[in-house]
């Protein structure tokens, strides 16, 4: 979000942000995109349109801010017992959510107002933070550390390209083929063989 100078975080400012975000989400669920305007959002949130313009600048910036917040993970990735399993389960969920109509609409809002903001970087950071949880969990189990940049470059980048530019999200099998190229991610077969040899 491109926060204006002089905006105080917390207190009244935080309450206003929460009410405006709530109003936007409700309107997105109820109305078509053309019906979402700053005056309509302001009326529902109980603030003046000037309050929204002063804080966010434009409707596009506000929608991008809401989109970033909605893409923020609300829970840690599932713990399947192995780094490989954790990554596979998370990638499947990532594709399902990102390639959905809602997911693509959120991405459009973020990239429609990407210039001069760090919104896309924030979304990348959410992905990195999730992968850090998986990596640290694996290390605690005694597994080799996951190379997060490898996952971003080899798996996430082509997935996002296909969703954004080809509108053909990869299948679960295609995601597994991408994961097979990640050198820091041993296959479950390799882990099982290693475990049987050490038993």
Helices (H) and strands (E) in the chain, counts: 11, 0
CB atoms < 10 A from the CB of 128, how many? Answer: 15
Cα separation, 123 vs 127, in Å, equals: 7
Check if the beta carbon of residue 23 is closer than 8 Å to that of residue 45.
yes
Q: Please, which pLDDT band fits residue 12 given cuts at 50, 70 and 90?
A: confident
User: pTM score, two decimals?
Assistant: 0.77
Domain with residues 11-57, CATH architecture: Orthogonal Bundle (1.10)
Name residues whose C-beta falls within 8 Å of residue 170's C-beta, 6 or more positions apart in sequence: 95, 158, 159, 162, 178
Cβ neighbour number for residue 166 with a 10 Å cutoff: 10
Residue bearing tokens 């970087």: 121
The pLDDT of residue 115: 72
161: how many CB neighbours lie within 10 A of its CB? 11
Give span(s): CATH 1.10.10.60, the chain.
11-57
pLDDT in tens, 135-151: 999 999 999 999 999 99
CATH 1.10.357.10, the chain: domain bounds? 74-188
Residue 69: Cβ-neighbour burial (10 angstroms; 0-12, 13-18, 19+) = middle
Phi-psi region of 162 (alpha: psi -120 to 50; beta: other; left: phi over 0): alpha
Residue 122 burial class via C-beta count within 10 angstroms: exposed 0-12, middle 13-18, buried 19 and up:
middle
The class of domain 74-188 in CATH terms is: mainly alpha
Q: Read off the pLDDT of residues 75-130 as tens digits, 9 standing for 90 and up.
A: 999 999 999 999 999 999 999 999 998 899 899 889 887 777 788 899 999 999 99
């Amino acid at each position: 979000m491109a926060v204006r100078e002089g905006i105080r975080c917390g207190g009244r400012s935080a309450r206003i942000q929460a009410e405006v975000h709530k109003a936007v989400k409700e309107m997105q669920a109820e109305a078509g995109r053309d019906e979402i305007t700053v005056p309509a959002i302001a009326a529902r949130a109980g603030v003046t349109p000037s309050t929204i313009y002063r804080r966010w600048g434009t409707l596009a910036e506000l929608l991008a801010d809401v989109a970033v917040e909605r893409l923020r993970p609300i829970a840690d990735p599932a713990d399947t017992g192995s780094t490989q399993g954790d990554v596979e389960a998370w990638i499947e969920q990532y594709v399902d959510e990102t390639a959905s109509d809602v997911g693509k609409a959120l991405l459009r809002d973020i990239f429609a107002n990407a210039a001069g903001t760090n919104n896309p970087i924030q979304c990348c950071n959410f992905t990195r933070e999730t992968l850090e949880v998986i990596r640290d969990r694996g290390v605690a189990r005694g597994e080799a550390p996951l190379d997060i940049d490898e996952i971003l470059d080899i798996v996430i980048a082509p997935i996002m390209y296909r969703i954004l530019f080809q509108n053909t999200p990869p299948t679960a099998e295609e995601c597994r083929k991408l994961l097979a190229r990640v050198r820091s991610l041993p296959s479950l077969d390799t882990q099982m063989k290693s475990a049987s040899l050490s038993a």
